[in-house]
Chain A
């Protein structure tokens, strides 16, 4: 194994440029965090909506939502990225399509965020559904018997409990969002993986590059984990979920 180590590479200047390689990595980290957080917001909103609707008594609504989940779960994320990026603009009305292709600001970023958001929302919907269904049936009966309407029952009785129950799987899903955001490199978002490939080709210091990027991904996952455990501790219902941990 004859590898030329160079740990100073991060501070060296990019060939034919002013910046250092470190600045590439920092840009990458910023895009990764931006894509992940924005799509997490989309995913949470849609995921809760779809997941809740899947448990309602209205048959056709539940069906529709199941179809939504199946659609997004059974196509690889990378293929979905390409669909949103290359195929979607063509299907829009002519004016809008031109605008999307030529003028839309931060086109790659918006596309990647929407794609990752919807992809994750399907998975969150599954967890929300599981959370609601894990509640005893009596809870919703009790709510309805108290004179709550169905939306009120969901708002005040079912969801507050269900959300707390599914916080642990939501945590790992949040960490998955960071991992999945790496797929956005394929449509040209300048996030960490993209920068890693670029830096590796440019500097030919592959191991140092990938090591730094891997550590940054670790850091993202770690911070997410800390944040979510904090929320979990704060919202715990005494006696319901095992308090010993």
Chain B
């Protein structure tokens, strides 16, 4: 049981870290894609499209292979997973944030500039707060998907919830019950979260 708990904590931590990192980098990527600097926009969109067109398992394997080559020493499956998910999810969050930024009406940004704000002030104080607010339900939905996807770190043998359940199942010779149990945990968590998100969506719809 403590075993499962450790695995669960890892899955949860991985989700939270990747979400925070992903949203931050994703927002930067989205700003890059929408910027008027040609090369920056091209690089950002190339990165996003690249990440979105390869299977996540392949991305996980890539990072697990390449990071040690760059740093010169092995860093372990768990840390590799955290870097991978942050980088991978940044691409998905950036698409959401791009839609969010574009959903803020043009006049808002123009008003900001007219008041003499710089680009960063304008983004930070006017555009992004509204973009975040509009996109909160979708960002959360993506986080639920992210939580489900963390099970794929199985490919590099990191000990997440699923892996822990598998090992525990083997130790106690009860593999089937363990798989069903894990499925139930994922289902209950994700279903509850998505219900909450639906509620939020309704609430936000009323406010606007």
Residues of A within 8 A of B149 (CB): 76
Given the known interface contacts A1-B70, A70-B191, A207-B66, the answer about A214 and B151 at a Cβ–Cβ threshold of 8 Å is no
Does B154 belong to the interface (CB within 8 Å)? yes
Q: Is the CB of B58 within 8 A of A74?
A: no
- Shortest C-beta distance, B74 to chain A (Å), equals 13
Interface string of A72-112 (1 = CB under 8 A from B): 01111111101100110010000000000000000000000
Q: Is the CB of A217 within 8 A of B154?
A: no
A-B pairs with beta carbons under 8 A, tally: 99
Q: Is the CB of B65 within 8 A of A207?
A: yes
Stretch at the interface among B99-107, B118-126, B131-139, B173-181: B173-181
Please provide the chain B residues from 45 to 87 with a CB less than 8 Å away from any CB of chain A in the complex: 53-58, 61-62, 65-66, 69-70, 72
Interface size on B, residues (CB 8 A): 32
Residues of B within 8 A of A70 (CB): 191
Residues of B within 8 A of A210 (CB): 58, 61-62, 65
Q: Is the CB of B58 within 8 A of A83?
A: no
Q: Is the CB of A217 within 8 A of B180?
A: no
Residues of A within 8 A of B61 (CB): 193, 196-197, 200, 210
Please provide the chain A residues from 49 to 90 with a CB less than 8 Å away from any CB of chain B in the complex: 70-71, 73-80, 82-83, 86-87, 90
Please provide the chain B residues from 140 to 187 with a CB less than 8 Å away from any CB of chain A in the complex: 148-149, 151-152, 154-155, 162, 166, 175-176, 179-180, 182-183, 186-187
**Additional pairs, 5, CB under 8 Å, beyond known A179-B56, A182-B57, A213-B58:** A74-B191, A78-B151, A79-B183, A179-B55, A210-B62
Binding site for B on A (CB under 8 A): 1, 3, 70-71, 73-80, 82-83, 86-87, 90, 175, 178-183, 185-186, 193, 196-197, 200, 206-207, 210, 213-214, 217-218, 221
